[in-house]
Amino acid sequence: MFLRSALSLWPLARNGTRSYSSTGVTKLVAVTVDDQTGIATVNLQRPPVNSLNLELLTELSSSLTDLEKNKSRGIILKSYSDAVFSAGIDILEMYKCEEERVTLFWSALQEVWIKLYGHFAPTVACINGHAPAGGCLLALSCEYRVMVKEKTIGLNETKLGIVAPQWFIASLVNIIGQRQSEVALTTGKMFTTEEALRIGLVDEMAENTEDAFSKSLEFFKKFKNISPFARAQTKAFIRESTIQALVKNREKDLKMFINEIRKENVQKGLGQYLESLKKRKVS
Ligand SMILES: CC/C=C\C/C=C\C/C=C\CC/C=C/CC(=O)SCCNC(=O)CCNC(=O)[C@H](O)C(C)(C)COP(=O)(O)OP(=O)(O)OC[C@H]1O[C@@H](n2cnc3c(N)ncnc32)[C@H](O)[C@@H]1OP(=O)(O)O
């Protein structure tokens, strides 16, 4: 009953889903809520590679707030593209960046992580494409990961000459443990889907996006006979210390980020990395 009235805030589409956009105009993040199940699909749609810039993160953040307010039954996070889930942080947000914008940018990333990692309802990452660095972080924030075969995922920051912040690291450690995380992070390892499945970085492998989406939907059925309150509170207890570690240190984390990316060698490395991405395309 409550769910129905909450969902009535979303305009009903012909196919039984409600489309919703945080800004009134669907742009970088499209949310549809299934009218029967109450499960929201959050589709990242910033071509070509869903790199995370301020605008995408701001939209994602307000979509998550709205889903929280509207008591969604669950979230499936996916990409509009079958090639890339998210290429991680848009390098242009870190390369030759203005202080004001980079402050807003990093704060938005912190906000998205806090909201997604702590979302009360079940969350699934339907990883239907490559998920390096920040893309991997989004997937790690969810409770369950289904990944399409022959893609790659990982926190590859060291390969860019940068250090993954503590909350990125904690998100990985909480899933694959300290030993595997240390090896993966220090080497900037990108795992194939098959490797990720083997070490528990992802929970299921899928043939393609459609299969990944249907496997993602299956996950919610695990909670059919579980009290939503007991489920949500248990999740909150398990995740609380990881979230609080950032919440209490947001300012310090922001300063560390700005300080780190402003270093001359880091700027040089980011410039070279951008160049190498462009060259890779040509060859
Ligand atoms: C002492 C320190 C203490 C504490 C630490 C504190 C702070 C830490 C500081 C910093 C931490 C910052 C954390 C960063 C995390 C990140 O997310 S960094 C981003 C990492 N991302 C990547 O490495 C991915 C790079 N991209 C790819 O590998 C491929 O593009 C991908 C496999 C995703 C897709 O391949 P494909 O489909 O072939 O596409 P293209 O490669 O052709 O790319 C299409 C165009 O998109 C551009 N592009 C790709 N990725 C990005 C990106 N991340 N940002 C910006 N632009 C990107 C690419 O150049 C192409 O552009 P073009 O069409 O040529 O113009």
Q: Are 143 and 124 in contact (CB under 8 A)?
A: yes
Question: Structural domain boundaries of the chain?
Answer: 2-282
DSSP assignment of 16-76 equals SEEEE-TTSS--SEEEEEETTT-EEEEEE--TTT--B-HHHHHHHHHHHHHHHHTT-SEEE
Compute the distance between CA of residue 241 and CA of residue 249 in angstroms, rounded to an integer.
12
Compute the distance between CA of residue 43 and CA of residue 30 in angstroms, rounded to an integer.
5
Q: Name the residue with the closest Cα to ligand 1, atom 18.
A: 89
Q: Which residues line ligand 1 (CB under 6 A)?
A: 48-49, 51, 83-84, 87-92, 130, 132-134, 156-157, 160, 162-163, 165, 256-257, 260-261, 277-278, 280-281
Taking CA atoms, 144 is separated from 91, 96, 141, in Å, by 27, 36, 9
Q: Name the residue with the closest Cα to ligand 1, atom 38.
A: 281
- The amino acid occupying position 58 is T
- The answer to ipTM > 0.85 is yes
pLDDT at site 16: 63
If we measure between CA atoms, which residue out of 236, 261, 258, 239 comes closest to residue 107? 258
Q: Name the residue with the closest Cα to ligand 1, atom 13.
A: 164
Distance 81 CA to ligand 1 centre (A): 16
CATH, domain range 2-282:
3.90.226.10
Taking CA atoms, 167 is separated from 4, 110, 137, 196, 250, in Å, by 36, 9, 9, 20, 11
pLDDT in tens, the chain (283 residues): 233 333 334 444 445 665 554 444 548 999 999 999 999 999 999 999 999 999 999 999 999 999 999 988 999 999 999 999 999 999 999 999 999 999 999 999 999 999 999 999 999 999 999 999 999 999 999 999 999 999 999 999 999 999 999 999 999 999 999 999 999 999 999 999 999 999 999 999 999 999 999 999 999 999 999 999 999 999 999 999 999 999 999 999 999 999 999 999 999 999 999 999 998 864 3
